[in-house]
């Protein structure tokens, strides 16, 4: 997968203010506010910044957390993780390996079969329904 690098000015011109704040500045949208939180349609969730496929609706579930939640990505290499020590907490940050967009966080409290919860900001995703 080819890496995508752009200047901050290029990212700002491509993304909405909220998308930029979440994906480039590691922000978080308010819980229960994202347009994809309650989406039940079949399809794929792509990175809003570069279009890389990240998650499938088949692995999406309602975690009650207020953000779209998935128990696994479309492929192990579809997302990357790193430790996040911001806000006085230790968390695992999830980002797009292609463009390094911040997507959300990974928690070990999800459903079977993985036990994982990829808690992802709607603002970092673009949904493409199955045709």
Q: What is the reported pLDDT for 8?
A: 93
Q: What is the reported pLDDT for 85?
A: 76
Residues annotated as catalytic are 119
Average pLDDT, the chain: 94
> What is the C-alpha to C-alpha distance for residues 81 and 113, in angstroms, rounded to an integer?
20
CATH code for the part of the protein at 8-129: 2.170.150.20
CB neighbour list of residue 7: distance below 8 Å, 6 or more residues apart: none
pTM, 2 dp? 0.93
- pLDDT tens-digit series, residues 42-93: 999 999 999 999 999 999 999 999 999 999 999 999 999 998 777 677 889 9
Task: Show the beta-strand stretches assigned E in 14-124.
Answer: 43-47, 53-56, 60-61, 69-70, 80-84, 91-95, 102-107, 117-120
| Among 98, 103, 84, 99, CA closest to 36 | 103
| Sequence ranges of the domains in the chain | 8-129
């Amino acid at each position: 997968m080819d890496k995508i690098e752009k200047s901050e000015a290029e990212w700002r011109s491509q993304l909405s203010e909220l998308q930029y704040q979440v994906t480039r500045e590691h922000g978080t949208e308010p819980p229960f506010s994202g347009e994809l939180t309650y989406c039940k349609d079949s399809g794929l969730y792509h990175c809003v910044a570069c279009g890389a496929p990240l998650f499938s609706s088949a692995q999406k579930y309602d975690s009650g957390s207020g953000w779209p939640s998935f128990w696994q990505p479309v492929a192990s290499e579809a997302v990357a993780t790193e430790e996040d020590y911001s806000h006085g907490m230790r968390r695992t940050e999830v980002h797009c390996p292609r463009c390094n967009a911040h997507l959300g966080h990974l928690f070990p409290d999800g459903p079977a079969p993985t036990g994982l919860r990829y808690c992802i900001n709607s603002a970092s995703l673009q949904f493409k329904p199955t045709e």
